[in-house]
Amino acid sequence: MEYEIIDGLRVPKLGLGTWSIGGGSRADPSLDSRSLAALRSALELGYTHFDTAETYAAGQTEELIGRAVRETGTERGALFITTKVAPEHLGYNQVLSSLEGSLRRLRMDYVDLFLIHWPRFGMNLEEAFRGLNKLIRDGRVRHLGVSNFNLKLLRQAKALAESPIMTDQVPYSLSDRSHAKNGVLEHCQQNDILLTAYSPLDQGAFKPGKSVQAIAAARRTTPQQIALAWLIAQPRVITIPMSADPRHQKENLEAIAIQLSAQEMARLTAS
């Protein structure tokens, strides 16, 4: 595993996204067996960073993650767990309640990273961070971050947080460079903030271009591995592809070992 080092903390370059584990916007108990198998597989393969949210399967995803951790006997200290507060819960007391609900479902004493999931028009960011800062002081949350924040909101968050903003989690992939164009990527790289790239393979709809296909063929890898390697090679960028398939989970992890040349990186970036 490769890591980004932030304030002395090692954060895995690649983690597991868990959207659709346990359901979509609602829990689907019929998926529990398959979802638990996917989470156990990831843990056994060596994944340590799991990204979830209170809204994933209406909290069922968090419950399943906690259950998989217990069933595999994985030590809590070996894991990096991220969860998120929903945009409708950004009041001071709501932030506190949201985190307590997540901890109860995970059956854990703390989370490593707690994010504002989405900005909301008219939100009181100061009140939200009053709650987030308290959670840091109380030791229930180790690090703070945001998700889907543009550069203006990211700067506001930095000003309100009593501890460093660890990440801005945004869509970023070979086919979606919007946060490279709007300045978020550069700002993160220049200010020791991780950009966590979600949907790195376009939620399973990745369509490799000629450059990706050529590089993958030459290296005898999959185009998906090249797309992940391109992200992993970038400073201050980590990524959280989702897969319930053990074979794909393993392939995604193996992308970490692919060392793209400067020429390959330039060719992909220009594609």
Q: Say which DSSP state 191 is in.
A: T
> Catalytic one among 56, 92, 172, 198?
56
d(CA 233, CA 160): 31
- The amino acid present at 223, given as its one-letter code, is P
User: In Å, how far from its chain's centre is CA 110?
Assistant: 17
Helix axes 125-138, 92-106, angle to 10 degrees: 50
CA dihedral 16, 22, 27, 29 (to 10 degrees): -170
Whole-Å CA distances, 92 to 88, 130, 220: 12, 6, 52
Q: Is residue 8 exposed (0-12), middle (13-18) or buried (19+ Cβ within 10 Å)?
A: exposed
User: In Å, how far from its chain's centre is CA 226?
Assistant: 19
Tell me the torsion sign for CA atoms 6, 10, 15, 116.
negative
3 is catalytic: no
d(CA 171, CA 180): 10
If you search the block for the tokens 């398959």, which residue do you land on?
34
DSSP β-bridge partners for residue 130: none
Nearest to 55 by CA among 31, 23, 15, 29: 23
- Residues forming the active site: 56
